[in-house]
Amino acid sequence: MSEVIVITSGKGGVGKTTTTANVGTGLAQLDKKVVLIDTDIGLRNLDVVMGLENRIVYNLVDVVEGNCRMKQALIKDKRYPNLFLLPSAQTRDKTAVTPEQMMKLTDELREEFDYILLDCPAGIEQGFKNAIAGADRALVVTTPEVSAIRDADRIIGLLEANEIKQIHLIVNRLRMDMVSRGDMMSIDDVTEILAINLIGAVPDDEQIVISTNQGEPLAGRTDTMAGQAYINICHRILGEDVPLLDLNVKNSMWSKIAGLFKKN
Amino acid sequence: MSQKVILKSNKYGINLILDPEIPFEELLSAVAGKFQEADSFFKGARMALSFEGRKLSAWEEQQIVETISRNSDVVIVCIVENDVIREQILKGLMEEPAEDALSIGQFYKGTLRSGQLLECERSIIILGDVNPGAKIVSRGNVVVLGALKGNAYAGAGGDNQAFIAALDMDPVQLKIGDVIGRSADKALWSGSKKKKKTEPVVDPQVAVVKDDNIYIEPITKGLLNHL
């Protein structure tokens, strides 16, 4: 049974694309056949984060408009042969496709893949409607900030109204030092406000910035906290019961210990 | 010569204005003629039929409906009684609850999220939270069995006697009747309110209008007696 998962947030810059890239990479590591779809037409990013920008020939709009076959537009990942990307078009805008066309597209991909991940654009307009049209479930990404949580709340309401039954929360960019000082909302504070089930928490990790700049997602790299957190999320998507990562371990200490193993 | 049958459209369908004098047979053929002429215009429409100008027996009504279906593709869904008294009774039924908005209520189960608006003619009891950016509008009272963190408007018909109650009263803005109150300017989030391991602190409060101002007070027995 294949599943179509939309990664959304409402607010921009909270980590939708990073989450899509890492969850997709993680699921591929767990031997699932995965395709990532960048639905942010006109502002494509996912290809950059995946390090696949130079391979784009055809894109999502080309497929929808029938300029090419699906197979021609899908880009195989550098690292994992069971991971694919359907890039977005950069020279068009959100009106280039309709929710009906997106549903048709995801249905076609269901036959081939275990997981179809949709990277949703920020906002609640056409791009959002396109992205959620074919989705079975949703991952809502938020940061522990009031503005991001307001938007997440709005998004959850819209997802519920569109009868997406399974909605899970990812709290991104947590800084445990700030939480313990009482300067940042904790995971519990966020889930209490949004009242949906948590599927994972990802610490604020400078390794993410490095990995994005290199075009190498770090899911599964257990020498990084974020990489560990993402692979845990992937296990939970598969239905496994994995305890929440203890984010309280000092970042520097963690990487030092992990670094020792890496050298060998 | 005056027309024997006049077709008039209304909000349900068509109204037939019938000549009260002429024999029924003649009336039927006039109806047949009218619908033959207008058939291309109606194009098989579904509509409700009502009569005016002539008292018809059930048999006669039946005859007219049959004549219409024989002479056109119009589908008569039902016959609407063009009865002034009945209309007034129905209208009364529709309006009655509004007057009783304060004492009759309904439940809504679930969390109201940002961007969602809940409007009701009666009092409303919400089993869940009202998050910032969400709004409830009620002609009666508003009771939130959860946290009220969004906007609430009670007594939307202009009734200052209405009240707004919540287990956790932390609204952005309240309106009761024609009085508006807003929250104090404060940090949107300033540390965890509750220590997790202790029992949750419940502090139910109610907002009422006194001297053209909204007051928020803890719910006590004495206060409830005055609502």
- Which of A151, A188, A195 is opposite residue B111, by nearest beta carbon? A195
Between the alpha carbon of residue B177 and those of residues A76, B100, B105, B193, the distances in Å are 62, 15, 17, 31
Q: CB contacts < 8 Å between A and B, how many?
A: 36
Residues spanned by the domain of A92: 3-263
Looking at the domain assignment, is residue B94 inside a domain? no
* CATH number of the domain within which A83 lies: 3.40.50.300
- For A204-257, write each residue's pLDDT tens digit: 999 999 999 999 999 989 899 999 999 999 999 999 999 988 877 655 555 555
Token pair for B165: 């109650």
The four Cα atoms A219, A225, A226, A232 give a dihedral, to 10 degrees, of 60
Looking at the domain assignment, is residue B135 inside a domain? yes
Based on the domain organization, do B218 and B142 belong to the same domain? yes
pLDDT above 70 (res A139): yes
What pLDDT score does B49 carry?
82
* CATH number of the domain within which B109 lies: 2.160.20.70
Based on the domain organization, do B220 and B109 belong to the same domain? yes
What pLDDT score does A144 carry?
97
Based on the domain organization, do B103 and B197 belong to the same domain? yes
Select from B111, B193, B198 the residue whose CB has the most chain A CBs within 10 Å, as the one to mutate to test that interface.
B111
Query: Which domain-ending residue is among B16, B47, B82?
Result: B82
**What's the start-to-end Cα distance of chain B, in Å?**
68
* CATH number of the domain within which B36 lies: 3.30.750.50
**Beta-carbon contacts of residue A256 (< 8 Å; ≥ 6 apart):** none
Interface of A with B in 109-168 (CB under 8 A): 146, 150-151, 153-154, 156-158, 160
CA A189 to chain B, closest CA, distance in angstroms equals 7
**Which whole number is the average pLDDT over A31-42?**
97
Based on the domain organization, do B17 and B118 belong to the same domain? no
What pLDDT score does B12 carry?
64
Of B31 and A35, the structure prediction assigns the larger pLDDT to A35
Query: What is the b/e burial string over A133-151, where b = at least 16 CB atoms within 10 angstroms of the residue's CB?
Result: bbbbbbbbbbbbbeebbbb
Residues spanned by the domain of B108: 99-226
CA A48 to chain B, closest CA, distance in angstroms equals 33
- Which of A153, A154, A185 is opposite residue B189, by nearest beta carbon? A185
Q: What are phi and psi of B97, to 5 degrees?
A: -60, -35
Based on the domain organization, do B107 and B34 belong to the same domain? no
Cβ neighbours of B150 in A, within 8 Å: none
B182, containing H or E segment: strand B179-182
What pLDDT score does B1 carry?
47
Question: Quick check: A154 and B113 CB within 8 A?
Answer: yes
The residues facing B209 across adjacent strands are B214
CA A71 to chain B, closest CA, distance in angstroms equals 40
**Beta-carbon contacts of residue B123 (< 8 Å; ≥ 6 apart):** B101, B102, B103, B104, B105, B106, B138, B140, B141, B142, B143
Looking at the domain assignment, is residue B90 inside a domain? no
What pLDDT score does A264 carry?
47
Neighbours of A72 (CB within 10 A): 12
Looking at the domain assignment, is residue B92 inside a domain? no
CA A246 to chain B, closest CA, distance in angstroms equals 18
pLDDT above 90 (res A200): yes
What pLDDT score does A30 carry?
97
Neighbours of A242 (CB within 10 A): 13
pLDDT in tens, chain B (227 residues): 467 888 887 766 788 888 888 888 888 888 888 888 877 777 777 777 888 888 888 888 888 888 888 888 888 877 776 656 566 666 665 555 445 778 889 999 999 999 999 999 999 999 999 999 999 999 999 999 999 999 999 999 899 999 999 999 999 999 999 999 988 887 778 776 555 555 667 889 999 999 999 999 999 888 888 77
pLDDT above 60 (res A53): yes
B118, containing H or E segment: strand B117-120
CA B73 to chain A, closest CA, distance in angstroms equals 35
- Whether this model's pTM surpasses 0.80: no
What sign has the CA pseudo-torsion B47, B48, B53, B57? positive
ipTM of the complex: 0.73
Cβ neighbours of A193 in B, within 8 Å: 131
What pLDDT score does A36 carry?
98
What pLDDT score does B160 carry?
93
Domain count, chain A: 1
Give the pLDDT band (50/70/90) at residue A72.
very high
pLDDT above 60 (res A194): yes
Cβ neighbours of B132 in A, within 8 Å: 150, 153
Domain count, chain B: 2
CA of B130: which chain A residue's CA is closest? A193
Query: Which domain-ending residue is among B82, B115, B144?
Result: B82
Based on the domain organization, do B112 and B72 belong to the same domain? no
